[in-house]
Amino acid sequence: MQITVVQALLLGLFAFLIGTSMFPLGWLSQNIMNKPLVACMFIGLIMGQPSKALLVGTIIQAAYIGQMAIGGVSTLPRIDTALWFALPIALTSNSSADYETLAAETLTIALAFVPVNDILGTIGNMVKVAVLHKQDDIIEKGVIGEKWWFPVVGHVWTFVQNFVIVVIFCLAGSAVVTNIVAAIPPQVNKIMSTFTSLLPAIGFMILMVTLIHEPLQWIYFLFGFVLVAGLNWSTIAVTLIGCVIGYLVFQFTPSATVALQEDDD
């Protein structure tokens, strides 16, 4: 099974549109669409395997659930562009595999592309900064009407980084990507495999560091872990219990204003 030209073009188009914030609501929709689970849903629809792609997306989303950008640097390797060709290649090259195997293959391909993506992103940022400075000059000269097309220039590199690369890798097929991955030294592959298996734990730890502010709050996490791992409760049931506990804590915890008024009295 191979990726068709139409599928490759659609995958590249979606990757490009997300990278340029051309969806409604701008940055908000871009932030949502960049989530691995949402991206995998669209990839699955394009590839005709939505259910399997969504299952793969849940594993990858668990790894990236705590991803943040601190000072412009992501806390986890960025795979937003690579995901658009890594998952389709995994789906076509090993369509009979279970979703856990597909998730591992997808992350292996995507993580191998991270250094290239970082280099392209850095070059793209320099190009966009140069374009912005040129736009400032145009505004100062008051020739905006004559240069109405100039803002589009800033998206040229995004077009190359997202659309062109995704289409080329998709049409190249799994054989080319497999050869690239096979060329990586075995030691590096072992490190990447270990890192891939640890990604979900890292993602959750980053999320908990931002959510847990007091040592006592770890009890809630341990309680939920016991319900899922020990009593085999479903995630939905634990979520509902968490909402009830959160509501009770909110209702019976005095606000800072009330506490200050009591201290004044």
Render 36-104 in DSSP notation, one character per residue: HHHHHHHHHHHHT-HHHHHHHHHHHHHHTTT--EETTEESS---TTTHHHHHHHHHHHSTTS-HHHHHH
Residues 6 or more apart whose CB falls under 8 angstroms from that of 154 comprise 127, 128, 131, 132
What is the per-residue pLDDT across 25-62, written as a single tens digit (0 to 9) for each?
666 666 777 788 888 888 999 988 888 888 888 888 87
pLDDT greater at residue 99 or residue 182? 99
Confidence category of residue 71, pLDDT binned at 50, 70, 90: very low
| Mean pLDDT value of segment 78-88 | 84
Cα dist from 138 to 131, 133, 135, 145, 249, whole Å: 10, 9, 5, 10, 56
Q: Is the pLDDT of residue 103 over 50?
A: yes
Beta bridge partners of 73: 70
Is residue 132 domain-shared with residue 250, that is, in the same domain?
no
Q: For residue 216, give its domain range.
A: 212-265
| Mean pLDDT value of segment 67-72 | 53
Q: Is the pLDDT of residue 260 over 60?
A: no
Task: Choose one of 168, 199, 230: the last residue of a domain.
Answer: 199
Q: pLDDT value at position 97? A: 72
| Mean pLDDT value of segment 218-223 | 82
Q: pLDDT value at position 177? A: 61
pLDDT greater at residue 220 or residue 136? 220
The Cα–Cα gap between 112 and 109 comes to 5
The answer to whether the beta carbons of residues 11 and 2 sit under 8 Å apart is no
Comparing CA positions, the residue from 37, 42, 80 lying closest to residue 56 is 37
The Cα–Cα gap between 212 and 91 comes to 38
pLDDT greater at residue 20 or residue 167? 167
Beta bridge partners of 19: none
Comparing CA positions, the residue from 15, 32, 2, 3 lying closest to residue 110 is 15
Q: pLDDT value at position 189? A: 61
Within a domain: residue 206?
A: no
Is residue 142 domain-shared with residue 264, that is, in the same domain?
no
Residue bearing tokens 């872990």: 225
| Mean pLDDT value of segment 108-113 | 78
Q: Is the pLDDT of residue 207 over 70?
A: no
Joined tokens for residue 48: 């005709």
Is residue 84 domain-shared with residue 161, that is, in the same domain?
yes
Q: Is the pLDDT of residue 257 over 60?
A: no
Is residue 86 domain-shared with residue 136, that is, in the same domain?
yes
Within a domain: residue 261?
A: yes
Q: pLDDT value at position 150? A: 64
Provide the number of structural domains found in the chain.
Answer: 2
Q: pLDDT value at position 18? A: 79
Q: Is the pLDDT of residue 264 over 60?
A: no
Cα dist from 29 to 13, 238, 254, whole Å: 16, 28, 36
Q: pLDDT value at position 188? A: 64
Task: Choose one of 199, 226, 256: the last residue of a domain.
Answer: 199
Is residue 171 domain-shared with residue 219, that is, in the same domain?
no
pTM of the model: 0.63
